[in-house]
Amino acid sequence: MDWLFERTIELAAWVAFLLCVVFLCDAAWMLFQWGRDFRGEGSANYLAQSGQAAIKFVGSALALGFLACIDRYVFDLPEEN
């Protein structure tokens, strides 16, 4: 059962990592669009969407760190005798 739980934690960490990449790219793209259309009508919308993607990126990064800590300190440390 421990093996299955460890694999599940590792899979969740990979999913969080991929979400980090997606949200970072989305935030950068929306920020680029905002800079390109700085004075346009949708400028504030691009900036708001970039901020939302950045918040999601930070949340995913925190989840990734939390899952990495679980994997490291629960499963990977050697047991003391």
State how many domains the chain has.
1
| Domain coverage including residue 71 | 2-76
Tokens matching residue 74: 């629960």
Task: Say yes or no to pLDDT of 61 above 90.
Answer: yes
Average pLDDT over residues 48-76: 92
Let me know if residue 81 belongs to a domain: no
Name which of 45, 49, 55 is nearest 19 in CA terms: 55
Convert the pLDDT of each residue in 3-51 to its tens digit: 888 899 999 999 999 999 999 999 999 999 998 887 777 788 898 999 9
Let me know if residue 17 belongs to a domain: yes
